[in-house]
Structure 1
Amino acid sequence: MTSASVAVTAESTSRFVQTKRFRIHYHEAGTGHPVVLLHGSGAGATGWSNFRPNIEALSADFRVLAVDMPGWGESDTQTAETGRDHVASLIDFLDETGVEKAALVGNSMGGMTAVAAALRHPDRVSHLVTMGVSCPGPNLFSAGNGPSEGMKVLIQAYQEPTPENMRRLVSIMCFDQAWATEELAELRSKAANAHPEHLRSFLEGITAGPSGSHIAAFFALAPQQLSSITAPTLAIHGRDDRVVHFEHSLRLTTAVPDSRLVLLNRCGHWAQIEHAEEFNRLVASFVGAA
């Protein structure tokens, strides 16, 4: 728990929980309404590396849980045998940590998990917040429907997790290169190379069909299904995102009835890092309003 005498660090907030299928690592701080932070898919992504500037700030008002999803960080990996259903893993995690209903805050892949959870388990989601999230449906304004520039760099980092490729990955995520620090690249590189089984699992998963991959299953959703989401929804997107074009969040907020979009100029794929103070204010106000 957060207090004036306990610093919010990776070590002080580190926790583990055993669910039905996985031992899951997460960071926890604060008390109050639960806010669950869900990281993106890049090699070396963890709850801490994706949300370092946000955990302490949000824990002043909420119970914050930043999860390493199965296949990332210090959590167990995923296999064809365990399955790669991130929504099921999230619900198991909420059950084991005593969370009846939470605000879900997801970056990129984590946003996809949050959206799918809001569809499949509306009773467990009080608020839905996405950043740089993909959305099912055709792109009309952005270039093509193949892998983006950023996704190509992300895949290469999985295939060859060298320090150089990790620096390229961190760089393409940010508009302002001051945030693409050597420290962050090293943090991601260390996490990726500590668990080569996670890297293999991700590469196997992206070639699986909807029944074997949470990502493929998400894109198999019909766009009109999104209109059944009842949770108040806030989509945050960087105008300069080179991984997922902001058109995706336009499509999301067009479909979800109770939704709004904040589009940040001079911002890449990591709004929560590049514009941390504004992001923290937006989330605190949005979740605290109801």
Structure 2
Amino acid sequence: MSLTHDATLRELPTEHGVLRYHEAGDPGAPPLLLLHGSGPGVTGWRNFGANLPLFAEHFRCLVLEFPGFGVSDPTDQHPMVAALPAVGRFLDALGLEQVDVIGNSMGGVVSTRFALAQPDRIRRMVTVGGMGRAIFSPSPGEGLNLLMEFTEAPSRERLIEWLNSMVFDRALVTEQMIEERWAQATEPSTLAAARRMYSRAALEGMAKAASTSPEPPYWAMLHQVRARTLITWGRDDRVSPLDMALVPMRTIPDAELHVLPNCGHWAMIEQKSAWEAAVLAFLTRKD
């Protein structure tokens, strides 16, 4: 099977709308769920499409497209709220009792929340930036502030500023990437979902809700994660700075931390070979 976008794309009808995903690899191989991050024009394919050829040699790869990002059906909920139950519906519909999971940024937070809520369903977990809590650096970070500015008043220039904050090497931000992201990010329902996440009012509302909630934040519950965990991070991440990794690295009982140099927020893209080697060794290790 050719690992192109169209050849791997699948649809899964659910009671809450159609979930779309990409599938690659032997259907009988161990399942590997890949969960994308957030931001203008993001998709699971854009996060992980280039990594599928390697992982599909070892796993049945399933790249889920979260509701509200322009690929799966829209959602009226906050996209982060909609993402967690979407993972459960997706695995249930495919009859998968347990998976390994890779989550980038928001996808790492969703993976972690799922591992806390349904611990028997995650064997091993890999996160790529984004998960944890800032200890020394300002919060929100530079990349999130640029994302908020774009979300509130979209322009091509603001999109380019945000994309440049995602990488160490700005040569990765090509005209094709800019045009593809601009087209999807400004689609009305996708932009509306982004504003529920990243407008100034949304971020201020989330901070206020967190300060008054009787429930502890997810990062305070990381000691309950049972899955063996690999935390991967770009040393030069300007969206979720490296010090965010300290809390999960210290509190998840069976966690390892792998830091990649000359690398921003997209470790799986910017340091593709090194990141893939570390992740594959972790997921296939026999101990």
Fold shared, TM-score > 0.5 on shorter chain: yes
1:222–1:104 distance in 2 versus 1, CA, 3 Å: closer
Give the residue type in structure 1 aligned to 2:189: E
Q: Which residue of 2 aligns with 1:9?
A: 4
The separation in 1 between residues aligned to 2:218 and 2:58, in whole angstroms, is: 36
Give the residue type in structure 1 aligned to 2:24: A
Aligned residue pairs, count: 277
Indicate the RMSD between aligned Cα atoms, in angstroms. Answer: 2.5
- The offset of 1:283, in angstroms, is 1.7
The secondary structure found in structure 2 opposite 1:236 is strand
Structure 2 matches for 1:60-71, cutoff 5 A?
Answer: 60-71=57-68
The secondary structure found in structure 2 opposite 1:155 is helix
Q: Which residue of 1 aligns with 2:185?
A: 192
Structure 2 matches for 1:1-290, cutoff 5 A?
Answer: 6-31=1-26, 32-80=29-77, 84-136=81-133, 139-142=134-137, 144=138, 146-194=139-187, 196-206=188-198, 207=202, 209=206, 220-221=216-217, 223-290=219-286
Q: Which moved more, 1:262-271 or 1:49-58?
A: 49-58
Q: Which moved more, 1:277-286 or 1:58-67?
A: 277-286
The separation in 1 between residues aligned to 2:144 and 2:206, in whole angstroms, is: 19
Identity between Structure 1 and Structure 2 (%): 34
1:52–1:169 distance in 2 versus 1, CA, 3 Å: farther
Q: 2:126–2:231: 8 Å Cα contact kept in structure 1?
A: yes
- The offset of 1:101, in angstroms, is 1.1
The separation in 2 between residues aligned to 1:94 and 1:52, in whole angstroms, is: 20
> Could you tell me the TM-score, scaled by structure 2's length?
0.89
The separation in 2 between residues aligned to 1:60 and 1:82, in whole angstroms, is: 32
Q: Which residue of 2 aligns with 1:3?
A: none
Give the residue type in structure 1 aligned to 2:23: E
The separation in 2 between residues aligned to 1:67 and 1:83, in whole angstroms, is: 14
- Structure 1: which 5+ runs fail to align? 1-5
The separation in 1 between residues aligned to 2:11 and 2:86, in whole angstroms, is: 14
1:161–1:67 distance in 2 versus 1, CA, 3 Å: farther
- The offset of 1:205, in angstroms, is 4.0
Give the residue type in structure 2 aligned to 1:30: G
The separation in 2 between residues aligned to 1:162 and 1:57, in whole angstroms, is: 36
Q: 2:37–2:105: 8 Å Cα contact kept in structure 1?
A: yes
The separation in 1 between residues aligned to 2:95 and 2:157, in whole angstroms, is: 41
- The offset of 1:158, in angstroms, is 2.3
Give the residue type in structure 2 aligned to 1:26: Y
The separation in 1 between residues aligned to 2:154 and 2:49, in whole angstroms, is: 22
The separation in 2 between residues aligned to 1:82 and 1:45, in whole angstroms, is: 13
The separation in 2 between residues aligned to 1:44 and 1:263, in whole angstroms, is: 26
- The offset of 1:83, in angstroms, is 8.8
After superposition, the C-alpha distances for 1:123-166 in whole angstroms (9 at most, x for unaligned) are 11111100112314xx3322x3x321100111223233333222
After superposition, the C-alpha distances for 1:211-251 in whole angstroms (9 at most, x for unaligned) are x99xx99x951544111111000000011000001111121
Give the residue type in structure 2 aligned to 1:120: A
The separation in 1 between residues aligned to 2:164 and 2:72, in whole angstroms, is: 26
After superposition, the C-alpha distances for 1:242-284 in whole angstroms (9 at most, x for unaligned) are 0001111121110101010001111100000001111112222
Give the residue type in structure 2 aligned to 1:127: R
1:161–1:65 distance in 2 versus 1, CA, 3 Å: farther
The separation in 1 between residues aligned to 2:80 and 2:173, in whole angstroms, is: 33
